[in-house]
Amino acid sequence: MKTGNILRPVFKYGLPLALSVGLCYYLYTKIDIEVIRTELHDCNYVWIGLALVVAVFSHIFRAMRWRIQLDALSIHAPLKPLVWSIFGTYAVNLLLPRLGELWRTGYIARRQKAPFTTVFGSMVADRLADTLTVLVLLLFTFFVARGAFIDFARQYPQVYQGITSTLNSPLVWACAVVGLAAIVALFVVSTSNRFVLKVRTWVKDLWHGFAVVATMPGKGRWLLLTVAVWGCYFLQLYMAFYSFSFTENLGLTAALVAFVLSSISMGIPSNGGLGPWHLAIIFALGLYGVGMNQAAAFSMIVWGSQNLMIVLLGLYSFLSIALENRKQQNS
């Protein structure tokens, strides 16, 4: 077996796990376990339960949104297996980061006998819509909560200077220009290289799955469901604020800051956000005067309950898929 074939999964799945473990260990060395236990005991778990109900609806709305895209590609999948695929995606990502998207693409492509790359392109469009939503929310959050960020910059000027120096670095801009030129050359330069031609075909199929968003019928419903998905995401975090005495009076702006920063942290390769999500929440709540121990307790309960639900929903989806496959084999 080639060394590259061994190292690839090690880097792909080992590094996110190492990052999650490392950040969790870092947090463990910084928090007071007794304070955490007290906060966990005093938590109002009714609000946590209600937040989980909202979380389930967010997954259903996401499946409904994806169904609109697939219908536009003449891939007419029933809603139920699409919901199963969403449940399963998050469960797989919890164990093997980013593999969940490939799993749900493969499952729907096989079930509907559709091209993998076309289904994958629709999934990429689904995720790109999420990225654009986060960017819009980030800009809006900086506007409404700029006071908290200005206070942080004044309190920690070295962090602000580090960010600005990185963005103004000639090396960063040079890498961006070289990368863009390489991408353009890949599609402009005439070649008979089989690998390049294969990449071009692959990208063309991906683009077909993505571009359908601009021309598909039901764009209004798609946008409405996008609002519903992200509205549920925000609502479940905001409802969790009422589970603790130190967050219940912080208000919508603080919840929005925590929501956006934690959403950005999910882009960091890790097992279901384990580690980066906690740090983002601790940082966001710290902007509004919440102590590290209290913020850590909040992140542990909210993340833990959400991912316990994801595991249970994932098991339900895998069992449902197995039963459906068995039924089809027996018929």
217 contacts: CB under 8 Å, gap ≥ 6:
72
- 1: confidence class by pLDDT, cuts 50, 70, 90: very low
C-alpha–C-alpha distance, residues 98 and 238, integer Å: 27
307 contacts: CB under 8 Å, gap ≥ 6:
94, 272
Q: Is the pLDDT of residue 245 over 70?
A: yes
In this prediction, residue 13 carries a pLDDT of 64
C-alpha–C-alpha distance, residues 100 and 87, integer Å: 10
C-alpha–C-alpha distance, residues 267 and 277, integer Å: 10
Domain boundaries, the chain: 34-326
Q: Collapsing DSSP states into helix, strand and coil, what is residue 193?
A: coil
Query: DSSP code of 44?
Result: -
**Are the C-beta atoms of residues 122 and 208 closer than 8 Å to each other?**
no
C-alpha–C-alpha distance, residues 21 and 10, integer Å: 15
Query: DSSP code of 10?
Result: I
Q: pLDDT of 110-169, one tens digit each?
A: 999 998 988 888 888 888 888 888 889 988 888 888 777 777 666 666 655 666 776 677
C-alpha–C-alpha distance, residues 120 and 123, integer Å: 5
Query: DSSP code of 96?
Result: S
| Axis-axis angle for helices 79-95, 99-112 (nearest 10) | 150
Q: pLDDT of 17-38, one tens digit each?
A: 777 778 777 777 778 888 888 9
**Are the C-beta atoms of residues 324 and 78 closer than 8 Å to each other?**
no
Pick the more confident residue, 133 or 270: 133
| Cα distances (Å, whole numbers) of residue 67 to 71, 142, 205 | 6, 33, 18
